[in-house]
Amino acid sequence: MLNLVQAAESAARNPPPSSSSSATFADPRRGFCSFEFFPPKTDAGVANLMERMERMVAAGPLFVDVTWRSGGETSAVSLAIAKAARQLLGPDRVMLHMTCAGASKATLVSHLATAAAAGVQCILALRGDDLDDFEEQNNAPFKYAIDLVRLIRSEFTNKFTVAVAGYPEGHGGIGYAVNLKHLKEKVDAGADFIITQMVYNAEVFLQFLQDCRGIGITCPIIPGIMPITNYQQFIRIISLTKVMVPDDLLDALRAVKHDDAAVRDIGSSFVLQLIQQFQNAGVFGVHFYTMNLEEPVVGLAETAGLLDPASVKIRSSEQQELAGEVRPIYWQHRPTSYMVRTSDWSEFPNGRWGDHQSPAFGDLSDFHLAAVHPPTVSPRHAIIQKELDTDITICRRLKTEQDVFEVFAKYVQGDIPMIPWCSNPLDSETSSISQRLANLNRHGILTINSQPAVNGVPSTDSVFGWGPADGLVYQKAYVEFFCDSQRLDKLERVLSAHRHLTLHAIRADGTERVGATNHTTALTWGVFPNREIVQPTIMDPVSFRVWSTEAFTLWQRHWARLYPASSTERALLSTIAHSYWLVTVVDNNFVASTLFDALDQVVMA
């Protein structure tokens, strides 16, 4: 793959005489790009990704890569997707992520041998998430990406092309110069080229490129970009990665944050300008973090002249083969199918309750060049986490369950800027019920997502509006929370008098308690001139089950790990994680909702 990248860079720098030399997108092809895909969380999503990936590959990226969740959790499906991509593009145009933190040498060698047997010839070597236990992490044989690079070179020599991650704005809480030093060490250990974390500032990347060259890094360096398609997702990503974004872009996006089409238009225009700045400076390759989205990514790449469809030759026999290879991996857990709500849902995936059949159904833990989990720190430093930017943090002393309840209450009151399940302050619509939520939280109904009912509010409303102008928006009241078995028992008794309220509860061990009706239902929808009804948010039992795994994990990975292993706080949070229920309740009567009245009854003495 290194030869491909070098040849593509050379071709872009030395175009045929007939090509325009102006710094515009007038030329049919001015550079190259790569597409990153992640394994969706359901079998239906994986099967649909196969179809989408086939179309996107046919557009002509230089190569594609497939992510690999830390710990090898998605190893089987990641390998299957990579193998399918290899059949479409060829063995030298597919890259597979691999993480090493906490893994044994035998496990990593096995994964690498399996990848080689599947025809994968390029590995993106990453550290991955730290282990939950600081001492265990400190004693692990593979702690850093350089350890994986060295392993590949020692065990497989030149069997693989090896890529590594670069961080133009630093990474891991260490200084910029130290990050550069570590990057140089990875290259010296055998890495062939570099892909960067997403960047939205051309000057930042170009300075990083210059600094790399200044310390002797001569290999190709490809900037990463994630197309901007949804405001909330974008804000969450940049808050987690700490990447710099121009203020004028943030202001423009904030002004239209409830209109996904407008957000995408502004984001696309900005990204095209960014790519042009790269090209003007002699940087002709771009790595797209696609988030498994098709139209916005391919549209950008085509406009920027980064695709070469003529380079792709897909044989029909291989197309048929790949469809059969991935499905059996998840087939035993095949979720119940349901009608896709709108044809463009996957291009506007906003809201937690996504379509589980969508190729884009996943979470941000599938984005591996960002530290989406807090970095492991020594126990003595855990209570001064700077990411929270406040003196009142989730790292406070926790001796009883009531102390935990108070953290949730303070979040909905705005006294704490985030909790593990919510990386941003409350939306304005939720703020309208914040006092009721605070009371519920102080009584053990630990809310992590909620919305009030809305009946025909103008789409331009400053609090509840979204989408294009001249529309009407609607939503059902719903709430999602953690609670113990005693409170859940009482809630079920209360709900017997509220037949329009639907409950679904699940525990960390997979035990479920489901109401009489438990089907996919729209939570938010809008009616707009000359358009079909739009349903951007749904409640889907399959999606809820998938999300619950992550939700329970956050108790341990994002919160309990901030305390020493033997602490009262960690024991308390672990007990809650294993004994509490994750509950969602939907009020199907959006005209006269009684959801929060019912919850008030549960917490009444």
Q: How many CA atoms lie within 13 A of 412 on its CB side?
A: 27
Write down the pLDDT at residue 331.
Answer: 20
Write down the pLDDT at residue 309.
Answer: 82
Cβ neighbourhood burial of 10 (10 Å; 0-12, 13-18, 19+): exposed
- Catalytic site includes residue 569: no
Which of 106-110, 163-167, 455-459, 538-542 shows the lowest per-residue confidence on average (mean pLDDT)? 538-542
User: Measuring CA to CA, which residue among 358, 238, 240 is closest to residue 293?
Assistant: 358
Write down the pLDDT at residue 562.
Answer: 83
Write down the pLDDT at residue 458.
Answer: 95
Per residue in 377-388, pLDDT (tens digit) is 333 233 223 333
In this structure, the number of other CB atoms found within 10 A of the CB of residue 260 comes to: 24
pLDDT at 324 over 80: no
Per residue in 258-310, pLDDT (tens digit) is 888 899 999 999 999 999 999 999 999 999 999 889 888 999 999 999 998 88
Which of 49-53, 551-555, 567-571, 597-601 shows the lowest per-residue confidence on average (mean pLDDT)? 49-53
User: Side chain identity at 130, as an amino acid letter?
Assistant: D
Separation of alpha carbons 11 and 195, rounded Å: 19
Cβ neighbourhood burial of 333 (10 Å; 0-12, 13-18, 19+): exposed
Separation of alpha carbons 67 and 94, rounded Å: 11
Write down the pLDDT at residue 358.
Answer: 52
Domain ranges of the chain: 32-320, 377-603
Query: Long-range contacts of range 108-112, CB-CB < 8 Å, 24 or more positions apart?
Result: 108/142, 108/148, 108/151, 109/151, 109/155, 111/72, 111/75, 112/151, 112/152, 112/155, 112/156, 112/160
Q: What is the DSSP string of 484-508?
A: -HHHHHHHHHHHTT-TTEEEEEEET
Contacts of 309 (CB under 8 A, 6+ apart): 58, 59, 60
pTM as predicted:
0.68
User: Measuring CA to CA, which residue among 585, 594, 588, 597 is closest to residue 436?
Assistant: 597
Average pLDDT, the chain: 81
Helices (H), 20-142: 43-58, 75-89, 105-117, 134-139
Per residue in 21-61, pLDDT (tens digit) is 333 443 445 799 999 999 887 777 888 888 888 889 989 99
Out of 9, 36, 406, 429, which one is annotated catalytic?
36
Supply the CATH classification number for the domain 32-320: 3.20.20.220
Helices (H), 118-188: 134-139, 145-156, 176-188
